[in-house]
Amino acid sequence: MTPPSGRRVRHPRAQHQFLARTCSITGVGSYVPHRVLRNADLEKMVDTTDEWITTRTGIKERRLAAEHECTSDLATEAARRALQHAGVSPEAVDLIIVCTITPDMPFPATACLVQARLGATRAAAFDLEAACSGFLYGLEVGQQFVVSRTCETVLVIGAEKLSSIIDWKDRNTCVLFGDGAGAVVLQHRPHSHGLLTTVMGADGTKADALCMPGGGSRHPATPESVAARLHYLRMDGRETFKNAVTAMHQAAREALERCGLGIEDIRCIIPHQANRRIIDAVAERLGARPEQVFVNLDRYGNTSAASVVIALDEAVRSGRIQRGDLVLLVAFGAGLTWAAAIVEW
């Protein structure tokens, strides 16, 4: 994908100057539910073992929302924490983008529900759906509003209650996913490069590899669609794994090349937390050192659009990322979609 005219921003190390108003992440926050579902608990639910799950995925536990919690609840709490970190009041937010595949309902947008709960009375609001790549898609969309001066403050949220669409009888998928939310505040910060570049892509010919067939206009809810279990997530694991490694590696490489950077220039790599073998394969192809890669998959599982931003928040709060560091974010999801971004923190 070619950046919009005037937006090709290269890092000063490559002896280039940024050409447009920049967009920085000025605040980050996350929220995960309190309930912990461990592999030992899953052993009592389906035919699986802790050893099988850990060996094939790297996941030890995941968080599940309570029955009364919905995606907007998770998103609102993450947003509050991001706004607090940025020192920004809800009334100052101009736009809210919620990236999710598990909205509270088909409409209105979950972002509108979050806007009301935050008291962000000035903000426009909409949802964005790109599955596990959603947060990085939302990051690029949000920064366009900032660099164009349409908005001063944009809130981008990745939030999922995946437990609501998981088939708890399918041992191949129910062990993988968890619930959670993360959010960032986007603003122009003087004398900072902020978001350097974003690479996005999609291949709709492989849409069936990871999908939820029911609930839309193709298979609306009927007694027959429910009986056929069409309203649960379905995944071709082998096809997804193969495409994820290739797409994430290529997107990350393209992002580095656009900025004139090598992998050695990156302080922290935050990949989508889907599978430890995918993360390791992408890191190896990039030539990354193990200490460059941030992983929290073992504690949260795959939280789809929330994955990268939850990990980003934890990396910042643990001191893994400091002001001025270069951070590589990379993700892959249903669609099939993929994205990578490089941020100067």
Query: Where do the domains of the chain lie?
Result: 12-187, 195-344
Q: In whole angstroms, what is the distance from residue 333 CA to residue 102 CA? A: 14
Dump pLDDT digits (tens) for 280-339: 999 999 999 999 999 999 999 999 999 999 999 999 999 999 999 999 999 999 999 999
At residue 19, the pLDDT reads 52
Architecture (CATH level 2) of domain 195-344: 3-Layer(aba) Sandwich (3.40)
Question: For residue 192, is it left (φ>0), alpha (ψ between -120 and 50) or beta?
Answer: beta
Predicted structure pTM score = 0.92
Q: Tell me which residues are annotated as active site.
A: 132, 272, 302
Name 183's bridge partners: 29, 157
Q: Which CATH class is domain 12-187?
A: alpha beta
**Which tops the pLDDT comparison, 234 or 16?**
234
Closest CA to 159 of 142, 187, 178: 178
Q: Do domains 12-187 and 195-344 have the same CATH topology?
A: yes
Among residues 39, 30, 26, 328, which one has the least CA distance to residue 160? 30
Amino acid, res. 159: A
Q: How far apart (Å, rounded) are the C-alpha atoms in residues 80 and 336?
A: 31
Q: Which of the four pLDDT bands, split at 50, 70 and 90, describes residue 191?
A: confident
| Contact by Cβ (8 Å): 71, 159 | yes
Reported as a single tens digit per residue, the pLDDT across 25-70 is: 999 999 999 999 999 999 999 999 999 999 999 999 999 999 999 9
Whether omega for the bond prior to residue 261 falls within 30 degrees of 0, making it cis, is no
Q: What percent of the chain has pLDDT over 90?
A: 92
Token pair, residue 269, equals: 């790599």
The pLDDT tens digits of the residues spanning 66-79 come to 999 999 999 999 99
User: What's phi and psi for 125, nearest 5 deg?
Assistant: -155, 140
What percent of the chain shows pLDDT beyond 70?
Answer: 94
Q: What is the pLDDT of residue 225?
A: 94
pLDDT above 60 (res 113):
yes
121-128 mean pLDDT: 98
Strand 179-187 to strand 124-128: parallel, antiparallel, or no bridges (unpaired)?
A: unpaired
pLDDT greater than 60 at residue 165: yes
The whole-number average pLDDT for the span 122-131 is: 98
